[in-house]
Homo-oligomer: A and B are copies of this chain.
Amino acid sequence: MSNNYIRIFDTTLRDGEQSPGATMTSAEKLEVGRGLARLGVDIIEAGFPAASPDDLEAVRKIAVEVGNNPEGGRVPVICGLARTTRGDIEKAWEAIRPALHPRIHTFLATSDIHMQYKLKLTREQVVEKVREMVTFARSLCADVEYSPEDAGRSDPRFLYVVLAEAIRAGATTLNIPDTVGYTLPEEFGGLIAGILRNTPGIEPCVVSVHCHNDLGLATANTLAGLMAGARQAEVTINGIGERAGNTALEEVVMALQTRRPVFGLETGIDAVQITHMSKLVSNYTGMSVQANKAIVGANAFAHEAGIHQDGLLKNQQTYEIMRPESVGASQTRLVLGKHSGRHALHSRLMSLGFALDDNELDVIFDRFKNLADKKKMITDADLEALIADELYQPRELYILDGLQVSCGTMGMPTATIRLRDPEGKLHIQASVGTGPVDAAYKAINSIVQSANTLQEFVVHAVTEGIDALGEVTVRIQGDDLPQVLDPQKESEQPHTFGGYGADTDIVVASAKAYLSALNKLLVASGQYGTPEKAAIQSIAQ
């Protein structure tokens, strides 16, 4: 591997999914994993297997399906996170070992504030624990990554000691996280340069950077780290992650590409996939992307439309430093209409990266025809919304069988809902609410008795045009569920669930989205047997 090659370590499925409400189902995680492999990431951090048996199973599925490419070609490393405990490391290993290239990633904080208040360990105890647990991880797996958590606020001299110990114990990648997004680019670059200069035995290891965006500096810090000699960047799609998020994959990759002569660095990323992956992750997590987000925002390439009409813009580069085509942005255009056949749909879906079997294609073709009756032009964005709505839903315990709503300024908004329960029995309930969505949700609640709090509710029109498909994402918090373990804070967080629905009728889409989130909540509550089983089957290839 050339010394100018930057390994892209994607942690959308671990640090990204850890952000409030970004919870994905096992099926969604698998689909994102497949997409990341197509995108060309070098390492996929697939989750934190010790969090729960479901999380372990989700990581294991990705290790099996994405970590082994039956058609040959490049296979990404599949990585699992573990705290520095035997239990965590064993679970991580259990989850990732089916992969062709497994990696265990373990971490222990090294900043004074974390050691004193969170770990309650002395420096000596931290060094000892790192030595012991990296040794143990290495006894299981040849590829071991160690992160000194909160390195950005750690004493650099202590970092050199801990990292040297980790190297002696067998660590092959040393990841330097700015956990709280506190450092400035010059500082962070200096930290990396110091580590490379002062850590005994570091030469054969890969140094990695992992930044957070609390001050809006994650991309700049990551690039400063790479310029200083780091050769792995830990990133997420759309920069999702806790608080202000992680470094955005698309920003780092496109900065390296756009300014290649300055950096002299390369990645294995197929940038044309970036827009598609951005949309996929946004749909599945319900974390919407603002219009003025770099690279993947709806306005990021706003000049495109005018370019061909405007005689004054003789040279595209006057206001454009990269082409929308280079990140696949311009592909989201009109493709199909009412007269398009099954074959045209199939080949368009293939080129979008969706490999559907015949049954799945039948389902999508029906939805497509139905939509084409209502809407003149079907775009890629519409197709992606249909796929997300139809195929990547969680196991459906309760199914929407019918909805009728009346609302407006004059009366009392009323919704009548008909649901099919897990035993196939139909239930009908009508409710009044403050609006049509509130009424529909109340009617659903009166059938599905499951305490929850709505955290977020967002509707987007998929495409321009008043007849667009409406996409709804909701996020609910289960009021009575056991909490989820956060690996870093070692604390329990409330469990939240995202739901997604698409329909030309936004009230119908809202009801679908709420049911999809409720179904995830019910699966997680364990009242309905093995979590996720059905969902995975529905998309197994």
Contacts and interface: CB of A to CB of B under 8 A. Distances in A.
Interface stretch (A46-54, A155-163, A464-472): A464-472
Interface string A403-414: 111111111010
Contacts of A262: 184, 187
Of residues A295, A319, A403, A453, which shows the largest number of chain B Cβ atoms within 10 Å of its Cβ? A319
A409 B402 contact: yes
Interface string A269-293: 0000000000000000001111111
Contacts of A322: 214
Contacts of A310: 489, 491
A533 interface: no
B413 A505 contact: yes
Given A312-B489, A312-B490, A404-B411, A300 B244 contact: yes
A38 interface: no
Nearest to A250: B216
A362 B415 CA distance: 33
Given A408-B508, A460-B458, A489 B215 contact: no
A245 interface: yes
Contact of A489 (B21, B248, B319, B453): B319
A122 B474 CA distance: 56
A464 B460 contact: no
Contacts of A466: 433, 437-438, 441-442, 454
Contacts of A442: 466
A380 B308 CA distance: 46
A356 interface: no
Nearest to A311: B491
A297 interface: yes
Contact of A299 (B244, B255, B438, B490): B244
A392 interface: no
A20 B299 contact: yes
A527 interface: no
Contacts of A488: 319
A375 B435 CA distance: 11
Interface stretch (A64-72, A174-182, A345-353, A421-429): A174-182
B288 A288 contact: yes
A400 B408 CA distance: 11
Interface string A108-135: 0000011011100000000000000000
A453 B459 CA distance: 19
A251 interface: yes
Contacts of A400: 409
Contacts of A314: 117-118
Contacts of A293: 244, 290
Contact of A306 (B251, B295, B320, B493): B493
Interface residues of A, number: 119
B292 A213 contact: yes
Interface string A317-337: 111111000000000000000
Interface in A176-199: 179-182, 184-185, 187
Contacts of A223: 184, 217
Of residues A242, A259, A321, A408, which shows the largest number of chain B Cβ atoms within 10 Å of its Cβ? A408
Nearest to A373: B434
A294 B216 contact: yes
B468 A457 contact: yes
B251 A215 contact: yes
Of residues A214, A312, A491, which shows the largest number of chain B Cβ atoms within 10 Å of its Cβ? A214
A258 interface: yes
Contacts of A409: 400, 402-404, 505, 508
Contacts of A438: 466-467, 504
A532 B116 CA distance: 60
Contacts of A507: 407-408, 435-436, 506-507
A263 to B, nearest CB: 9
Contact of A213 (B294, B301, B319): B294
Contact of A258 (B20, B215, B259): B215
B402 A318 contact: no
A426 to B, nearest CB: 14
Contact of A508 (B118, B215, B406, B407): B407
A359 interface: no
A437 B407 contact: no
A144 interface: no
A110 to B, nearest CB: 13
A326 to B, nearest CB: 13
A317 B113 CA distance: 8
A219 interface: yes
B318 A113 contact: yes
A303 interface: yes
Q: Report, nearest first, the 4 A-B pairs whose CB atoms are least far apart.
A: A220-B220, A245-B292, A216-B251, A435-B505
11 contacts: A118-B318, A181-B294, A214-B300, A216-B219, A244-B294, A245-B292, A245-B299, A288-B288, A306-B493, A409-B508, A457-B470
